[in-house]
């Protein structure tokens, strides 16, 4: 696969690259990331490889990520119209201002105007709700975003970091009121975070939403740079935070990834990204790159096609424990489907066994 093997995002005609360039590392305001010059070089390399999808947020490095993108590409209309630029609202950049963030109409419209100014563009291709605001009715949020689409300031919309039941409510509300529907979800998804397979991924499939995973390498853990031997060493940037998320199960998964990387003549990070790319609901994976070397490593994952046996082994190794009611449905379905084949799927006998009598009371 190549970076210019585009896919439509969800139930829309918007074409995006299989890897999306994430802009969270653009700028140094958080004490880690890429300088302005490094960020520009990373963007140029991604575009040179025919990538067309760049994702940022109003909160990334206090808005500097948006400004770097705006200064470098979106102020040039000949470049801007060929690129899918996504950004997000919800974060509050103004201490003490109760309406500085969230999902209310005042906050959303102000955040959009500020992002347009920093990005130096008159429209945003894909506008994400960064996280669900429980204090604002979803009807108000959807109406506010719809007004931005109607005014031409936004083309498409999506949600991130939101419970499945709230996403469903938003989509049904938009349909009922003939407002702009969501086309995609941005969710954390990787070999180390698969609980989204319980409800969010089936929801995306049911509603025709594209899925754009963030943190596909779990903050670098799945890059293979952490080992049992070096875990105690201090790591730059977010390294110490990531180390707190590593346990023996993580190293067991990394050990197997090393085996698959060796057998496929590639690297751990590329295997982890190739596995994620194989998931049927995934449209475009958001990759972060603090350095040019990291970008090249992530892009090289497109050259990896894992054998079906390797994918199945990774599936089994990392299968998540899902919460109720998902965890009981596999057993409960056997009481209705046990011993049958439906739509090509065969079900074993019910664990309750066959009745000893044909009599039904």
Is residue 17 a contact partner of residue 284, using CB atoms and an 8 Å limit?
yes
Helix (H, G, I), strand (E, B) or coil at 23: coil
Q: How far apart are CA 81 and CA 46, in angstroms?
A: 16
**Which residue, 155, 142, 274, 286, is CA-closest to 211?**
286
Helix (H, G, I), strand (E, B) or coil at 92: coil
Q: Which of 46, 60, 123, 127 is catalytic?
A: 60
Active site residue 60: yes
Record the tokens describing residue 150, joined without a space: 């109607």
Q: How far apart are CA 295 and CA 104, in angstroms?
A: 36
Catalytic residue ranges: 60
């Amino acid at each position: 696969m190549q970076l210019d093997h585009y896919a439509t995002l969800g139930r829309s005609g918007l074409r995006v690259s299989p890897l999306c360039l994430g802009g969270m590392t653009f700028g140094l305001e958080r004490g880690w990331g890429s300088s302005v010059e490094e960020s520009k070089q990373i963007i140029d390399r991604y575009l040179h490889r025919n990538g067309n999808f760049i994702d940022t947020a109003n909160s990334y490095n206090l808005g500097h990520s948006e400004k770097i993108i705006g200064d470098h590409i979106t102020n040039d209309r000949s470049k801007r119209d060929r690129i899918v630029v996504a950004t997000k609202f919800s974060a509050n950049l103004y201490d003490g201002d109760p309406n500085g963030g969230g999902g209310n109409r005042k906050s959303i419209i102000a955040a959009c105007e500020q992002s347009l100014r920093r990005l130096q563009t008159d429209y945003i291709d894909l506008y994400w709700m960064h996280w669900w605001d429980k204090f604002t009715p979803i009807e108000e949020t959807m109406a506010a975003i719809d007004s931005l689409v109607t005014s031409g300031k936004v083309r498409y919309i999506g949600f991130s970091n939101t419970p499945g039941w709230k996403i469903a409510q938003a989509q049904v509300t938009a349909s009922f009121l003939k407002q702009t529907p969501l086309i995609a979800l941005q969710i954390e998804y990787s070999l180390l975070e698969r609980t989204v397979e319980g409800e969010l991924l089936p929801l995306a499939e049911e509603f025709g939403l594209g899925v754009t995973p963030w943190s596909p390498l779990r903050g670098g853990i799945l890059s293979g740079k952490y080992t049992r031997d070096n875990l105690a060493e201090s790591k730059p940037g977010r390294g110490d935070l990531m180390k707190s998320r590593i346990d023996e199960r993580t190293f067991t998964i990394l050990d197997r990834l090393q085996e698959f990387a060796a057998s496929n003549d590639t690297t751990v990070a590329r295997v982890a990204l190739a596995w994620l790319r194989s998931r049927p609901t995934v449209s475009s994976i958001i990759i972060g790159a603090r350095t040019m070397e990291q970008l090249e490593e992530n892009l090289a994952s497109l050259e990896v096609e894992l054998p079906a046996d390797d994918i199945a082994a990774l599936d089994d190794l990392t299968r998540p424990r899902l919460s109720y009611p998902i965890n009981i449905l596999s057993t409960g379905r056997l009481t209705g489907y046990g011993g049958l084949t439906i739509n090509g799927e065969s079900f074993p006998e019910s664990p309750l066994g066959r009745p000893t009598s044909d009599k039904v009371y």
